[in-house]
Amino acid sequence: MPSQRKALAVVLAAGEGTRMKSDRPKVLHQVAGRSMLAHVLAAVAVAGVESVAVVVGPGRNDVRDEALRLAPHARVFVQAERLGTAHAVLAAREAIADGCDDLLVLFADTPLVTGATILALRAALAEGAGVAALGFAAADPFGYGRLLQDDSGRLLAIREEKDASDAERAVRLCNAGLMAIDGGSALDWLGRIGAANAKGEFYLTDVIEIARDAGRTAQVVRAEETEVLGVNDRIQLAQAEAVAQNRLRRAAMAAGVTMVAPETVFLCADTAFGRDVLIEPHVVIGPGVSIADGAVIHAFSHLEGASVGAGATIGPYARLRPGARLAEKAKVGNFVEIKNANVATGAKVNHLTYIGDADIGANANIGAGTITCNYDGFFKYRTEIGENAFIGSNSALVAPVKIGAGAYVGSGSVVTKNVAADALVVARGRQMEKAGWAASFRAAQAAKKAAK
């Protein structure tokens, strides 16, 4: 069984990605809030692969850093020259030489591959194959290498498009690129690959015929075309995003989340849901969000780096920024922004309000138009609002400041000093009234205008 075998995954991440038209390396572009490299490394972990080697291009410290952030025990190798896929794999020769049962070759720009598919490749080796290649039935096979099989279905060779005959080009079973190779023979077989082809490169696909010449069999493991989508430009990146979003939505709904219009909801790979969550249309959820049982996210809300407690209500048109933590049955209403703040059980921030760097006590009520003034241009400061406190509409709380439990802040106040528990504070200009002033003003202005 694969779980009893030692595995090494070599992840090829050295591509320039020139068609992306970007200063960012291709494999660091994101799908569902996670870099493509991160998706592949996550699938590798699901497949129980113990060792990882990542092959990067020269000077690509950003790719190296991302790999080590995600897989701290990974080994990173540099492919100084780009002479084909087999040459890229051999950049990790040192890791391969350490020995393994299963050598897996994966591509960091194929982000949708699943752990289950990697396990299927490993299972083929466990059953005795020398090589297992991942294939798919292409709707349009043009440009892909073809998987050539004998009558019993064993893999004979992989022929690149430019080197294929007309009969071979008619084959619709195509090479996805991912491959599993017997670890004990891998270095020997890879070392025998030559560059006698139209492009003068060392093709990893030649390992099929080399393995067969050594008396070993090769198998095909099939996957859906959407799973093996390679990303080379922004158009394909958008296609991968669409596939990933559909997967995430289906998984969430299968786990007990209701989405009124799922095609309008966008999730991240790490979004965590409880049961009986309701998501209304046009909601965007960024990285680092957890939503507990029974919470409701109303339409047109945006969440990132936030936790939403059980039974809480968000939106519509709300924004939760990183560090927003809502306890159970808290309420954040329309046109409210919460950032780096704790909103305790039952507290209400209903509308037109900014709460940043603050702690809101249980059952407190924050009136419309309230602002926590948390930044002086250099440093951030916290506002503390006690439980059952009532903040009147259009108030500005100038941090650092504490509003005691049960205190009332009169509407329109600018509070700069701490307020004691159960006190009333009114901090605004005294109202003055001049009888008849408006009528006199209008008459004087009308006469002035007429004179002109």
Q: What is the pLDDT of residues 103-129, one digit of tens each?
A: 999 999 999 999 999 999 999 999 999
pLDDT, position 124:
97
Residue where one domain finishes, among candidates 188, 222, 256? 222
Residue 435 φ/ψ, nearest 5 degrees: -65, 135
pLDDT, position 16:
82
**CATH label of the domain that carries residue 278:** 2.160.10.10
What average pLDDT does the segment 45-67 reach? 96
Q: What is the DSSP letter of 81?
A: S
Q: Identify the sign of the CA torsion 430, 435, 437, 442.
A: positive
Report if pTM > 0.85: yes
pLDDT, position 61:
96
Number of domains in the chain: 2
What average pLDDT does the segment 155-178 reach? 91
Please confirm, yes or no, whether 351 is among the known catalytic residues: yes
Q: What's the length of the chain?
A: 452
Residues 128 and 273 in one domain: no
Using 50, 70 and 90 to split pLDDT, how confident is the model at 430? Answer: confident
Per 3-state DSSP, what percentage of the chain is helix, strand, and coil (rounded to 5)?
A: 25, 30, 45
What average pLDDT does the segment 272-279 reach? 98
Residues 196 and 297 in one domain: no
Task: Return the closest-CA partner of residue 249 out of 230, 227, 271, 224.
Answer: 271
Question: 177-216: per-residue pLDDT in tens?
Answer: 999 999 999 999 999 999 887 788 898 999 999 999 999 9
Residues 204 and 287 in one domain: no
pLDDT, position 15:
85
Residue where one domain finishes, among candidates 182, 199, 222? 222
Structure tokens that stand for 432 in this block: 């003055």
- The Cα–Cα gap between 388 and 56 comes to 56
Residues 123 and 190 in one domain: yes
Preceding amide of 281 cis, omega within 30: no
Contact 355, 399 (CB under 8 A): no
Residues 74 and 166 in one domain: yes
Q: Is residue 229, in this structure, part of any structural domain at all?
A: no
pLDDT, position 196:
82
Contact 26, 122 (CB under 8 A): no
User: Across the chain, what does the average pLDDT equal?
Assistant: 95
pLDDT, position 201:
87
Residues 187 and 238 in one domain: no
pLDDT, position 3:
60
Q: Is residue 187, in this structure, part of any structural domain at all?
A: yes
What average pLDDT does the segment 79-105 reach? 95
DSSP β-ladder status, 325-326 and 307-308? parallel
- The Cα–Cα gap between 321 and 326 comes to 12
Q: Give the residue ranges of DSSP H helices in 170-318.
A: 186-191, 207-213, 234-254
Q: Identify the sign of the CA torsion 66, 69, 74, 78.
A: positive
Which structural domain range is residue 379 located in?
Answer: 234-425
Residues 197 and 326 in one domain: no
pLDDT, position 195:
87
Residues 276 and 191 in one domain: no
Residues 210 and 239 in one domain: no
Q: How many Cβ atoms from other residues are within 10 Å of residue 283's Cβ?
A: 24
Residues 110 and 255 in one domain: no
Structure tokens that stand for 421 in this block: 């528990």
- The Cα–Cα gap between 447 and 354 comes to 45
